[in-house]
A and B are shown apart, each in its own frame.
Chain A
Amino acid sequence: MKFLAYIIYFVMLSNISNAQTVIPLSNTHGFYNAYVIPIDGRARIDVQLVVLSGTYDEDGVSGIAHYTEHLAALSSDTKVLQEPRQRDLNAFTSKVSTVYTNTGNSKEIDRIMLLTRAVLETPNLPIDFQKSEIDIVKREILYKERNAPVRWLNRLALQKLYGSKSGRADNPVEDLNNITIEKAMSFHAKHYTPSNSILIISGDITQSLAQAKVTEYFGNTLKTKRVPDLWLTHHPKDGLKSRTIISSTRILDDSLSYAKFFKFPEPQDILGMQASFFIASDIYNSHMNDALYLEGFTAQSFSQSSYIAINGDLEYTATLIPFEGVSLEQALNALEKAMAKMRTKKITQKEIKTARSKNVAYTRSLSQSPRAYLDFFQNLGSDGLPPTSPTEFAKMIAEAPDTEILRIIAAFASDSPSAAILANSESPK
């Protein structure tokens, strides 16, 4: 046996600490809300500006929120950085929000705040550049589409579910040639206001410094009304069971895309529901996964996603590639049968305990990545709710009441409006 030991040296980034408390700032000036999350041991500061509008808020033409995101980010860089356009966009557009993240060390706080402030100012870029950025957006959308052809099927399912190509559904590829600078400017003017945004400052910063910087850079902003989420009233028709069969060369395998919607009859306490929603969706997804994938062999691959809106509306989507010898119709029947079975299924205490443990484990795993922390912060923030830190979330998970968890599982399983796309893969000629 031999022991050969050598000294090791290489530069390490700081480790993530566990301490995080979300502190609402007392003076938010024009913002809808503003928070600071000091993190011990973090060597950097992240400022997330969450504009509380995304693709759901687009007015008729898909892709406008995304294009506006590009223009605002590039304009902000051009105004503040000495070498603009030398970094990739620090922003992304989701269904309900557009999030800009600027990062630096404590000495760079003023530059970070200037960059953040500039996002809310009318984009100021040469007209030719603005026009040509439409081409970049086109290439980006097509690039993502090629990498995940199933995105297209999911869109079709949502269009069928909501009977629309805008609001809770969208149509970005077909609308690529309808994007204009004017529409983006109009979207920016309407949605990019402090009162339609929240600010989350996290990392190596104190509460008092964060407050001082918000006052310094946003002290002259005034509180106005938040832009209403018109899409919240956008519901499928009662009793809808849309089934569409298509053929396409765009997909590599036969694929089933499924979307379902549930509305609670009474108003919901969305903040209180969050932890229960995560546990409930884990239990529901596990049962569906067991039935169709792990034990059932209906699916070659199976993925599920669920979303809870600020008013408690639930949206569930699933994508399934049938297992060898299983037809699309058989796959859809199996999916619906598994769902129906969940209506009478007794959920055990052990299952709830396991789901809680899985969610807690997930929050622990975030410590490996500062980026994951930021995603976590903006997740609830994107709905205009106070952001939650992983430690706070772990506590919420432990305290989520069983009754609430079971009520949400029942909602997932209910016989509610749905749409399915059965897509046959064709070989290219």
Chain B
Amino acid sequence: MNFFRIFIHIFISLLSLMFIAPANAQIKDDVTYITEFTTLNENMAAASLIWALNVDTNDQSRALQALLSAKISGPMGAISARESIDFRVINNIDLTINATPKHLILTITSPKENFKDAIKHINQILRNTEINKNWLKRKNRAYEEISSSRLRTPELLETELTDYTLFTGNSPLLNKSALKLEILRRPNQIIFNAKNYNFRNLADVLMDGLLSHDATLNNFPIKPHRKLPAGIIHSSDENSSETLIFIGTIKEFKTVREQAQTNILYKYMGYGPGSEMFRIIRQEKRASYDPRSHFTQIGKQLAFTGLSATVSSKNWHEVYDLILKIYNDTRAGINTEQGLQDSRDSMINNLVGNLRRRPEWLAQRYLELHPVKPPEQIIDIKLLSESFSVLPLELNNKANKILENPVKLISIIIGGKINPKMEIQHNMFCKLPPNKRLDYCLDKLTSG
């Protein structure tokens, strides 16, 4: 068995570190790279298992996650699903699955005192070659995509737009047995995370008995992500009492600093009760319960960004104008010093919270920089140091450059009547037919 270990303690401070990542490194499926971080809360330990898999369709990504989920949830040999669940509850073992176009990630978290048992348990799961067919049916259904126009929630909208951006191909789905083989093999990378904990031998325990064969899915390159088009999409519903308004885009940043700056400005616009969206849309206009901003990193220097609110269908267009005004005012740089400072603090608190409690978040940030293997020198997740060093006051002068020109944003309205003015005046308008997914209009607007 060929392990390649690097023990790296992540560095979080204002100091800048340098590293050189190997460019275009090739994936070797017979090598597992091991990296250690030390950012979690004192009593917790975690391991993220990463399979390098180039996946270019949302359906394939969901099928892979469903398969892994069925494997985790179902019975294995003489051990029933009930016994597995009780074991995990009693030992406070938490499992999460994440997927990107390049990786499938399984993260195990538990208190340190139970971590060795948790790792043995995961090895048992991974070695199990039989996946119960009913469990697989159940998980395939659970991973089916739900259209945002059906339930009208901003969370579903974010998922739908992100998937549209990231999954850009049309490769045929692998059949079940080929798919099974993809996750029966040893992971390509393992990331451990705990403070003052000796992970010695745990990688051996994790990978004991796992096969070492080449993957099928990581042998072809995947296309870069799509850009979201500008324009307006309206999924109208004349009978609805409520309308979801979203204005935003998926933004690619030139630098990590620009990413941190944008994050702060979005927090200023719509994160929490001190924000402009809350102050104006909820407390002054009394128009919405859930006005908010979105800033979710979905790739290397790539984030889902936007503003949303669910409002009464009667006057959705008035609130739409107001949200645009909030965006334009923030972009004009007339923002309060205290508000920017609070927003910067919120961003830092989120970062620290993610480092302390969400090992899968750190694993994803690391993989964006080192998708194939760890660097030969130093891991430097610049997002952390850059985020700490942004000065709130520098943002007002730059806001019009940091935030996208509003004509480049996409507006999505779900519910309510179509505003005839908007339909006539806007040359990039798409009315979403009932029961069609957003892709229909996104493709149409993209092709102009």
Contact = CB atoms under 8 A, between A and B. Distances in A.
Contacts of B44: 368
Contacts of A429: 434
Contact of A8 (B39, B111, B138, B151): B39
Interface in A149-173: 149
B396 interface: no
Given A6-B9, A135-B286, A139-B310, A252 B80 contact: no
B316 to A, nearest CB: 12
Interface residues of A, number: 52
A10 B44 CA distance: 17
Nearest to A282: B89
Contacts of B13: 7-10
B227 interface: no
A132 interface: yes
B9 A142 contact: no
B273 A8 contact: no
Contact of A4 (B8, B86, B352): B8
B146 interface: yes
Interface in A1-51: 1-12, 15
Contacts of A12: 356
A4 B92 contact: no
B289 A139 contact: yes
B223 interface: no
Interface in A95-149: 129, 132-133, 135-136, 139-140, 142-143, 146-147, 149
Given A139-B288, A143-B289, A358 B89 contact: yes
A65 B279 CA distance: 25
A323 B138 contact: yes
Nearest to B38: A8
B137 interface: yes
B160 interface: no
B86 A354 contact: yes
A86 interface: yes
Interface in B1-52: 5-13, 17, 38-39, 41-44
A303 interface: no
Contacts of B12: 8-10
Contact of A427 (B82, B91, B435): B435
Given A15-B42, A295-B80, A368-B41, A142 B241 contact: yes
B352 A10 contact: yes
Given A86-B274, A139-B290, A290 B7 contact: no
A300 B356 CA distance: 34
Nearest to B4: A1
B92 A364 contact: yes
Contacts of B287: 135
Contacts of A85: 273, 279, 283
A8 to B, nearest CB: 6
A133 B378 CA distance: 54
A301 interface: yes
A316 interface: no
B355 interface: yes
Contacts of B288: 139
A84 B138 CA distance: 48
B142 A300 contact: yes
Nearest to B309: A139
A282 B279 CA distance: 44
Q: Which 8 A-B pairs have the closest CB atoms?
A: A132-B286, A139-B289, A6-B11, A140-B289, A294-B81, A88-B273, A87-B273, A357-B90
7 contacts: A1-B5, A2-B6, A132-B286, A140-B289, A142-B242, A323-B134, A428-B150
Given A85-B279, A143-B289, A295-B80, 8 more contacts: A4-B8, A6-B9, A8-B10, A11-B352, A135-B286, A143-B290, A354-B86, A428-B434
Interface of B: 5-13, 17, 38-39, 41-44, 80-82, 85-86, 89-92, 111, 134, 137-138, 141-142, 146, 150-153, 155, 241-242, 272-274, 278-279, 282-283, 286-290, 310-312, 352, 355-357, 377-378, 434-435
Interface of A: 1-12, 15, 85-88, 129, 132-133, 135-136, 139-140, 142-143, 146-147, 149, 252, 286, 289-290, 294-295, 297, 300-301, 323-324, 354, 357-358, 361-362, 364-365, 367-368, 427-429
